[in-house]
Amino acid sequence: MRFSIYRYNPEADKKPYMQDYDLDTTANNCYMVLDALLAIKNTMDDTLTLRRSCREGVCGSDGMNINGKNGLACTTHLSTLQEPIVIRPLPGLPVLRDLVVDMKQFYQQYEKVKPYLQNSDPAPAKERLQSPEERAKLDGLYECILCACCTSSCPSFWWNPEKFVGPAGLLQAYRFVADSRDTATNERLADLTDPFSLFRCRGIMNCVDVCPKGLNPTKAINQLKELMLEEAV
Amino acid sequence: MVKSVLGVNHQGLTDWLVQRVSAIVMTVYSLGLISYLVMTQDIDYTRWHALFSHGWMKLATILFIVSLLFHAWVGMWTVFTDYIKPFVLRFILQVLLFLSLVSFFFASLMILWGV
């Protein structure tokens, strides 16, 4: 199979370029994009740089742009792709080297939504209980692995990465707003009422299209807007 | 309109509401005007003039125009802040847009009052 891979080493290259590799995927036992990338790195070109860890869609390290669509290399089947397979780093984030991007802006936005439980009530002796129904509200929200596929596919984030929280951060904002044990709902909503943090979302649903975990950040964003409206009027 | 629990800087929420409310107003007015055009036979100047001579039609039209201008302001402000990064250029464009929208408002008032 032919692969066309984005290469850029800021210490050696003036400009990024695309490099082609022809890999015998059958001989190398490759099923997923990550298998092929590692085979290229191990057998053809050990300068190829990428992030990966769990290789089974849990850690979120190997988010990249595969044939124009963001996804995890480890969960994308080679058989679903047309040749040449074009691999680029996640768009909209600064490239450190080859397929490795600087995730600082992504994490800063994540940090902004205070992604941890806040509860001003005194802690009970054992634990804060939830009914099964209350717990069920967190399904589809807590599963995010922070791979940045959604946020880096969002034009609103591309144009305003320092102001727009992005789908991944907003999904987590709603995850804690929806949590019956969290008492900071009003503060969380108040932090998002400016024109950029939440409302720069125009609902184009690129995030839903690319999420490797099948989550729906647009729905969470709309629920945040609805809650704000209920609080406000 | 917005209660204090949501803090003071809620321009995003207000803009979002303005766009939705103004869109509803424009839809209702447009549907009304389209059904008038479809249902009325042989529209001529006299009928058109008579329609716009009613006080309620003037009021509805002004409401429509105000909605359109607010809708345009929010939309264009969003486009400018997305795509025009140099502050001075964006400021100039916003001032020009604001002046055009205000002049459209007064021009349409004069047209309606001229009927």
Tens of pLDDT, residues A62-78: 999 999 999 999 999 99
What CATH architecture applies to the domain B8-114? Up-down Bundle (1.20)
A165 and chain B in contact, CB less than 8 A? no
Q: Are A212 and A147 in contact (CB under 8 A)?
A: yes
Report the residue from A197, A200, A232 with minimal CB separation from B2.
A232
pLDDT value for B107: 96
- Rounded to an integer, what is the distance from CA A208 to the centroid of its chain? 11
Phi then psi for A190, rounded to 5 degrees? Answer: -60, -35
Query: pLDDT per residue over A136-151, tens digit each?
Result: 999 999 999 999 999 9
User: Across the interface, do B15 and A192 touch by the CB < 8 Å criterion?
Assistant: no
Does the pLDDT at position B52 exceed 60? yes
Of A159, A193, A233, the CB nearest to B12: A193
pLDDT of B2 above 60: no
CATH of the domain spanning A2-101: 3.10.20.30
CB contact under 8 A, B78 and A197: no
Q: Where are the domains of chain B?
A: 8-114
Domain range summary for chain A, segments of one domain joined by +? 2-101, 104-232
Minimal Cβ distance to A231: which of B6, B15, B82: B6
Judged by a CB distance cut-off of 8 A, whether residue A233 touches chain B is yes
- Return the pLDDT at A183: 95
Cross-chain Cβ contact A193/B2 below 8 Å: yes
Mean pLDDT of A162-171: 97
Contact B81 A195 (CB under 8 A): yes
Share of chain A above pLDDT 70, in %: 100
What ipTM was estimated for this complex? 0.82
Q: Which of A193, A199, A233 sits opposite B7 (nearest CB)?
A: A193
Cβ–Cβ under 8 Å, residues A170 and A181: no
Give per-residue pLDDT as tens, A209-227. Answer: 999 999 999 999 999 999 9
Establish if A225 touches chain B: CB-CB under 8 angstroms.
Answer: yes
In whole numbers, what is the pLDDT of chain A averaged over residues? 96
Q: Provide, rounded to the nearest whole percent, the portion of chain A with pLDDT above 90.
A: 97
Burial class (CB in 10 A: 0-12, 13-18, 19+), A125: exposed
A104-232 to CATH, choices 2.30.30.40, 1.10.1060.10, 3.30.70.100, 1.10.10.10? 1.10.1060.10
What is the pTM for the complete model shown? 0.89
Asked if pLDDT for residue A90 goes beyond 70, the answer is: yes
Residue B31 CA, chain-centre distance (Å), reads: 16
The amino acid occupying position A13 is D
- Among A154, A192, A199, pick the best mutation site for testing chain B contact (most B Cβ within 10 A): A199
Are A126 and A162 in contact by the 8 Å Cβ rule? The answer is no
> What pLDDT digit, counting tens, does each position of A175-188 carry?
999 999 999 999 99
The proportion of chain B whose per-residue pLDDT surpasses 70, expressed as a percent, equals: 92
* Contact residues on chain A for B12, CB-CB shorter than 8 A: 192-199
Q: Which residues of A touch B16 (CB under 8 A)?
A: 199, 225
pLDDT beyond 70 at B7: no
Per-residue pLDDT of B35-44, as tens digits, reads 999 998 888 9
Check CB contact of B13 with chain A, cutoff 8 Å: yes
The pLDDT score that the predictor gives to residue B6 is: 60
Q: What is the dihedral of CA B19, B23, B29, B32, to 10 degrees?
A: -170
Model pLDDT, residue B1: 42
Asked if the model's pLDDT at residue A99 lies above 70, the reply is: yes
